[in-house]
């Protein structure tokens, strides 16, 4: 096997990785080929300076802040310093950067500091894991092509191979003719994740911290004590960062010790592939996410759809996927990963973006019933560990996608209230309308519908029951648990006070007020 040459990326390479549209080099007294050792958050309250060669992220510092020049002069030893500013505003600080021998970089976009930290770290880790010459055993697999990588590893070991991420989600699996997967392997491929009973935390911890190839019994119901099925797993890392796990299906014939060493070497080399794949996925996801956002917001939606490969004139619906209730540990990017991986695995055209805690997907569709089946299958497969809900907006052209997105949001609110899992807007339209009305009232508290109701508080339940039973006194009385004559008396008393329930407009507005005030929409009943 070829030895790996560990290289630190240059400032120019890091800038290229981040993107010149986001950051600009304002001053580079030592040139842009200066090596970058990694990102470091600059803390003015910390007595320890950032480590030598680091790219210091000057969080909270602006170009016009008092003491900005003094802070930069004090960064002697770091390779570069980044502050949030446009290039023109940062230019007066170039002299201070030259005095310290530090490259000055302006962060000109709304990119978060945590995102920038991740991008710099990725660039450094990738530079630290580049293989100078592809090894003979790996052939000429392009860096980042995980499917080609696992196939080459499987051919070399003569065993099926798969790579999963740190959360046991499937990233790639081998498909070599003549190699047979067992039942567990087939389950993983079909569900795109390792079943929870076969994914213990202790196994994950051992693999991601030891760096050694370890052998495990598959366990019931896939094998027996007399005839165990063995698997070899090893953690995949890039520098200090755990990226995933490589698994080899041994079967009943165990690999030799020298082959286990080879598995560890393959896992080490897989780090560069995983990191490059993640970097490419991040760039593509950001580009596609921006286009999806434009379409959802009605900003040049036809152009955005064309660039996403969607016909703007054919039917497109918005699919919204989220957790039933937001918690302290939202899935966030993991949910986006899962949804995108699902559509990739089943070759279904979709373009997705994460907004807050919800993933929105633009789905070309001929009918909503088919898309509902897709949504139900997605929720079933991805909801093995945490429950999900999915709502489908109306089928529209590109120009009406904001309306479909609004419908998906309303249907999602109904699902969260009802405890149901999947619905199209047509299935919950009545409940969604009431949800929209409540939102309208919240936004406009001066509407007449908010004004005091002439129905006395002790008669509200009776009036609501009478209206919803369409004036059927006996049915309404059964619902209330009172005698029909009691209800008749209450209605006659209201009429004597000038509240006429025989007027259809009065019935409509009264029902809306009482329904929204007391019970809110009953999604299960409305659906």
DSSP labels for 485-522? HHHHHHHHHHHHTT--TTSHHHHHHHHHHHIIIII---
**Around 436, how many Cα atoms within 13 Å sit in the side-chain half-sphere?**
14
Find the radius of gyration of the CA atoms of the chain.
30
> 518: pLDDT confidence band, cut at 50, 70 and 90?
low
The yes-or-no verdict on residue 296 having pLDDT over 90 is yes
pLDDT at 360: 94
The yes-or-no verdict on residue 295 having pLDDT over 50 is yes
- Average confidence (pLDDT) over 495-509: 77
Extents of the domains making up the chain: 11-127, 146-278, 310-427, 446-526
Other beta carbons within 10 angstroms of residue 518's beta carbon come to: 10
pLDDT at 240: 72
The residue with greater pLDDT, 308 or 283, is 308
| Angle separating helix axes 257-297 and 113-127, nearest 10 degrees | 150
Question: How does strand 422-424 pair with strand 23-27?
Answer: unpaired
The yes-or-no verdict on residue 135 having pLDDT over 70 is no
For 63-111, write each residue's pLDDT tens digit: 888 889 999 998 988 999 999 988 999 999 999 999 999 999 998 766 7
For 48-71, write each residue's pLDDT tens digit: 677 788 899 998 888 888 889 999
Q: Which token pair is 467?
A: 């209206």
- Average confidence (pLDDT) over 419-438: 86
The yes-or-no verdict on residue 336 having pLDDT over 80 is yes
Least confident of 31-45, 96-110, 272-286: 272-286
The domain 310-427: what is its CATH number?
3.30.70.1230
pLDDT at 138: 38
Least confident of 24-33, 95-104, 383-392: 383-392
CB 228 within 8 A of CB 221: no
Q: What is the average pLDDT value for the chain, to the nearest integer?
A: 81
CB 399 within 8 A of CB 495: no
DSSP labels for 188-215? HHHHTB--GGG--HHHHHHHHHH-S-EE
The domain 11-127: what is its CATH number?
3.40.1390
- Average confidence (pLDDT) over 340-345: 74
- In sequence order, which residues have a C-beta less than 8 Å from that of residue 389 and are 6 or more positions away? 321, 322, 323, 324, 379, 412, 415, 416, 420, 421, 422
Q: Which token pair is 288?
A: 């596609």
pLDDT at 41: 84
What is the CATH topology of the domain spanning 146-278? Beta-Lactamase (3.30.450)
The yes-or-no verdict on residue 273 having pLDDT over 70 is yes
The yes-or-no verdict on residue 284 having pLDDT over 60 is yes
Distance CA 450, CA 321 (A): 33
pLDDT at 252: 83
DSSP labels for 306-318? HHTT--TTS-EEE
Least confident of 279-288, 365-374, 443-452: 443-452
Most confident option among 119-133, 136-150, 157-171, 263-277: 157-171
């Amino acid at each position: 096997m070829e030895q790996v040459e560990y290289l630190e990326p240059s400032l120019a390479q890091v800038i290229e990785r981040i993107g010149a549209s986001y950051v600009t080099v304002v001053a580079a007294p030592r040139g842009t080929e200066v090596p970058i050792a990694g990102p470091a958050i600059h803390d003015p309250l910390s007595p320890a300076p950032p480590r030598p060669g680091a790219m210091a992220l000057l969080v909270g510092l602006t170009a016009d802040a008092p003491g900005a020049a003094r802070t930069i002069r004090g960064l002697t030893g770091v390779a570069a310093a980044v502050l949030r500013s446009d290039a023109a505003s940062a230019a007066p600080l170039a002299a201070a950067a030259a005095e310290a021998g530090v490259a000055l970089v302006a962060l000109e976009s709304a990119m978060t500091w945590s995102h920038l930290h991740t991008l710099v770290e990725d660039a450094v880790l990738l530079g630290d894991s580049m293989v100078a010459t592809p090894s003979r055993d790996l052939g000429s697999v392009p860096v980042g092509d995980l499917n080609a990588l696992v196939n080459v590893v499987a051919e070399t070991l003569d065993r099926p191979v798969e790579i999963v991420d740190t959360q046991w989600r499937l990233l790639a699996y081998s498909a070599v003719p003549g190699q047979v997967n067992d039942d567990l392997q087939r389950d993983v491929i079909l569900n795109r994740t390792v079943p929870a009973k076969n994914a213990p935390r202790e196994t994950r911890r051992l693999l991601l911290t030891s760096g050694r190839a370890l052998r495990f019994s598959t366990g019931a119901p896939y094998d027996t004590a007399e005839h165990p099925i063995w698997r070899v797993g090893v953690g995949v890392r890039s520098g200090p960062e755990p990226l995933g796990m490589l698994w080899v299906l041994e079967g009943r014939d165990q690999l030799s010790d020298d082959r286990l060493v080879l598995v560890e070497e393959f896992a080490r080399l897989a780090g560069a592939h995983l990191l490059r794949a993640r970097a490419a996925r991040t760039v593509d996801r950001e580009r596609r996410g921006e286009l999806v956002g434009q379409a959802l917001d009605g900003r040049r939606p036809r152009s955005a759809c064309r660039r996403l490969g969607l016909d703007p004139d054919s039917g497109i619906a918005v699919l919204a996927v989220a957790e039933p209730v937001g918690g302290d540990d939202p899935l966030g990017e993991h949910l986006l990963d899962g949804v995108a991986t699902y559509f990739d695995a089943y070759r279904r055209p979709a373009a997705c973006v994460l907004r807050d805690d919800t993933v929105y997907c633009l789905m070309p569709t001929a009918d909503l019933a088919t898309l509902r089946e897709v949504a139900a299958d997605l929720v079933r497969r991805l909801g093995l560990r945490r429950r999900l809900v999915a709502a489908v907006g109306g089928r529209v052209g590109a120009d009406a996608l904001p309306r479909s997105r609004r419908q998906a949001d309303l249907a999602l609110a109904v699902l969260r209230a009802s405890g149901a899992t999947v619905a199209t807007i047509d299935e919950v339209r009545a409940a969604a309308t009431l949800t929209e009305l409540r939102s309208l009232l919240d936004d406009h508290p001066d509407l007449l519908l908010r004004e005091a109701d002439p129905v006395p508080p002790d008669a509200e339940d009776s009036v609501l029951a009478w209206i919803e039973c369409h004036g059927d006194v006996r049915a309404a009385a059964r619902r209330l648990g009172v005698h029909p004559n009691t209800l008749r008396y209450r209605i006659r008393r209201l009429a004597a006070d000038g509240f006429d329930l025989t007027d259809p407009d009065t019935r409509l507005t009264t029902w809306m007020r009482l329904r929204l005030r007391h019970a809110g929409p009953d999604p299960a009943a409305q659906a």
